[in-house]
Amino acid sequence: MPIARSRAGARTTGVRVLVTRSLLRPLSALALLCTLAAAPVPSPAAAGDGAAPSARAGNASGPSVVPPVPEWTPPLSTRGRYVVDAEGDRFKLKSGNWHGASGTWTGSGSPDDPANNHAGEKSDRMPLGLDRAPLSEIVAGFRELGLNSVRLPFSNEMVHDTRPVADASVAANPSLKGMTPLQVYDAAVKALTDAGFAVILNNHTNTTRWCCGVDGNERWNSSQSAETWESDWLVMVRRYRDNPRVVGADLYNEVRRSVLDDPNWGLGDRHDWFAASQRLGDRILQEANPDLLVIVEGINWTGIPVDGFPHERPTLEPVQRLSHTLVRSGKLVYSAHFYDYTGPNHSGATGLGETSDPRYRDFGRSELYDVLRRQAFYVAAQTDRHFTAPVWISEFGVGGRQETGAKQRAWFDHFVDFLVDADADFAYWPLVGWHEDRKGNGWALLHWDSAGRRAGLFDGDDWRAEPWRRLVEAPGRTGRVAPVDRWSMLSPDHGDFVQSLRMRALPDWDPGARKAACPDDQRLVGLSHTGNRGLCSDAGARGLGASAGAHEIVRDERHVEPGRDWASGYTKLQCPPRYFLAGYSVRGAAVSAALCVEAGGVPGTAGRTVWFDRSDNRPPAAGGGDFAHGHHKGQCAGDEYAAGIAYTGRLGSSRSPVALLCRALR
């Protein structure tokens, strides 16, 4: 279950209980949203008693000269499990979260009272710390930490907020006086990108309220319509389109259960996070900015956190059976969050709402590694699958000076070791916090007091400094990453799944049918017998399609050559010579039409029939993985292209595909 972040800008162990109507009949409606008491946060030790906090310009033990962000060339894209820059060089996302613009108000009392803001840190709907330190100093601190990118949360409410920020809220940045929160956000983006950082926009919440319980921010459409969510994203993407160092759109944070409803991955209803993120990702790339990375986080919580009731943190596990295929290849990144006090089936609650399931900190190193691989990292670890993509751990964190728990410290060490071993992309939560006399918000890596004095990670009294250095300085893949074969799933489960920009720009090619089409740089190589799934790839033939090639919709056997009946007794939808299959349409389970696209070269004509009506028929070690779990599948070899689909209209048949005509590429 989603939890409310704690003092350090990380999270409390208290959560809002999610329960069903039947459990709460005697309770009032207000009780539905009852918040559990948070476990006490240990008082920070007076670490460095008598020692003067570091000066505004830096700290005694940090580098005397803040290093620049390493050079890189935008835009970013992906090759297999790696993010790469425009030169094809690895760009490992070494990131942190600069929170505040998504809100810090806890939901009760006046938002202007610091006591009613998370950990007393009142951000006023802006990136935190602008009342205490100049933008330039904050950004220099991020460079000192060894980062190259920043996740910058915002709320939909902030996007529409026209109230000028209070002068006191930008006291350390007088040039920001009189601006709206969005204009201040603009200034933060500019300061970061001018310094060489990559910026990932993150839609953290609907409202400017602290995340993440039953707070109206559970889903992208909890406190607003899905249409508003999409429209706001298009506004934000277009706003920064001319800044090439704004590189990504992190679509929504910690999708989770509301009081009565769970999110899902693929059911096709208004709670379907897979469908919502797929649709918005395509719209961003097609209508607003074709260069952005589209970042999709897994589902953070489903079910009721009570022993005996189903409940879990699905994270990225559903991706192996249903993955995204965007209209532009090489733009998808998956993300996940991990904190010590949550678990694969533990909400993070303490007291009421706490289950007997283990938290991540309860696992030993080996067991923790197994859980992390199962929940998220398999996506990047397995190559040549329909789901293979970079995995960005866009939130993780732990308490600093005041954290004395052995389990918490061990978890952080183990987790950092795992990130190092996996050469994983990451973003720490949070970067900026407040302190007074080196006490207060202990999770941030950089803290400023009310006089503008900084307490930094490298001041000598923060135990996280050593694992942090180990993380940011770890050796990993660098340099050029060679292009890889792409494998993409087509899933017209509940409607059209047309991933071809060319076909999207044309009139409906089979009205009333559900249509599926590969991205324009790929071809169809596999189909399932039932379930309507397809598999696309560019393996062995990148750029197979003609640059201005024609297409044909085939509904009959007009192109079956005399004497070449490759599926006798079956209806065959065959492409004309020099054309290849790039899509199909269905009505129910029945094949309706085949989409054929002209090839740029002269593909081969020798072919074979691949039957898959009674069992899987795929090449040994076939790429793409299981693109239709639980269904029979047929697939052409890596040096072949699909040129035809066969089905039967016999009595009792559903007219679903039974065979493919596979032809040699050359």
pLDDT tens figures, 217-258: 999 999 999 999 999 999 999 999 999 999 999 999 999 999
Q: Is residue 78 part of a domain?
A: no
pLDDT reading at 634 higher than 70: yes
Residue 577 and residue 435 in one domain: no
Tens-place pLDDT, residues 71-84 = 999 999 999 999 99
How high does pLDDT run on average in the chain?
Answer: 89
What pLDDT is stored for residue 288 in this prediction?
A: 98
Q: How far is CA 54 from the centre of its chain?
A: 36
Beta strands in 107-147 (DSSP E): none
Q: Of all residues in the chain, what percent carry a pLDDT higher than 70? A: 90
Pairing of strands 391-395, 332-337: parallel
DSSP 63: -
Residue 269 and residue 375 in one domain: yes
Domain harbouring 121, CATH code: 3.20.20.80
Query: In which domain, by residue range, is 423 found?
Result: 86-473
CB 455 within 8 A of CB 416: no
Distances (CA, A) of 527 to 58, 314, 412, 490: 59, 27, 44, 9
Distance (Å, whole) CA 155 – CA 343: 27
Domain boundary among 430, 451, 473: 473
Per-residue pLDDT band for 645 (boundaries 50, 70, 90) equals very high
Per-residue pLDDT band for 650 (boundaries 50, 70, 90) equals confident
Q: Per-residue pLDDT averaged across 478-482, rounded?
A: 97
pLDDT reading at 416 higher than 90: yes
Distance (Å, whole) CA 514 – CA 492: 6
Domain count within the chain: 2
Q: What are phi and psi of 318, to 5 degrees?
A: -65, -15
Per-residue pLDDT band for 213 (boundaries 50, 70, 90) equals confident
Q: Of all residues in the chain, what percent carry a pLDDT higher than 90? A: 80
Q: Is residue 32 part of a domain?
A: no
Residue 280 and residue 329 in one domain: yes
Residue 157: name the closest of 180, 176, 190, 187 by CA: 180
DSSP 528: E
Residue 464 and residue 533 in one domain: no
| Tokens linked to 302 | 């489903």
Tens-place pLDDT, residues 9-53 = 444 333 333 332 222 222 222 222 233 223 333 333 323 333 333
What pLDDT is stored for residue 19 in this prediction?
A: 30
What pLDDT is stored for residue 55 in this prediction?
A: 38
From 11-25, 367-381, 569-583, the region with the lowest mean pLDDT: 11-25
CB 59 within 8 A of CB 448: no
Pairing of strands 497-498, 551-554: unpaired
Residue 430 and residue 506 in one domain: no
Q: Is residue 421 part of a domain?
A: yes
What pLDDT is stored for residue 447 in this prediction?
A: 96
Q: Is residue 45 part of a domain?
A: no
Residue 459 and residue 560 in one domain: no
Residue 516 and residue 462 in one domain: no
Higher pLDDT, 2 or 481: 481
Q: Is residue 277 part of a domain?
A: yes
Distance (Å, whole) CA 518 – CA 501: 9
What pLDDT is stored for residue 155 in this prediction?
A: 96
Per-residue pLDDT band for 635 (boundaries 50, 70, 90) equals very high
CB 617 within 8 A of CB 659: no
Q: Is residue 63 part of a domain?
A: no
Residue 403 and residue 512 in one domain: no
Burial class of residue 372 in the structure, from the number of CB atoms within 10 Å of its CB (0-12 exposed, 13-18 middle, 19+ buried): buried
From 268-282, 521-535, 649-663, the region with the lowest mean pLDDT: 649-663
Residue 394 and residue 518 in one domain: no
Tens-place pLDDT, residues 111-121 = 889 988 888 88
Residue 173 neighbours by CB under 8 Å, 6+ apart? 130, 134, 135, 187
Tens-place pLDDT, residues 493-551 = 999 999 999 999 999 999 999 999 999 999 999 999 999 999 999 999 988 887 677 99
pLDDT reading at 284 higher than 80: yes
Residue 454 and residue 568 in one domain: no
Residue 222 and residue 111 in one domain: yes
Beta strands in 469-622 (DSSP E): 487-490, 497-498, 514-517, 523-528, 534-537, 551-554, 571-574, 579-587, 590-598, 607-611
Residue 292: name the closest of 238, 347, 215 by CA: 238
Residue 201 and residue 328 in one domain: yes
- Its pTM stands at 0.91
What pLDDT is stored for residue 546 in this prediction?
A: 72
CB 68 within 8 A of CB 196: yes
Q: Per-residue pLDDT averaged across 392-421, rounded?
A: 97
Q: Per-residue pLDDT averaged across 628-654, rounded?
A: 93
Domain boundary among 427, 451, 473: 473
Domain boundary among 440, 473, 506: 473
CB 663 within 8 A of CB 627: no
Tens-place pLDDT, residues 441-458 = 789 999 999 999 999 999
E strand or H helix at 433, and its extent?
strand 432-436
Per-residue pLDDT band for 333 (boundaries 50, 70, 90) equals very high
Q: Give the three-state DSSP class for 189.
A: helix
What pLDDT is stored for residue 606 in this prediction?
A: 87
Q: Is residue 67 part of a domain?
A: no
Q: Is residue 172 part of a domain?
A: yes
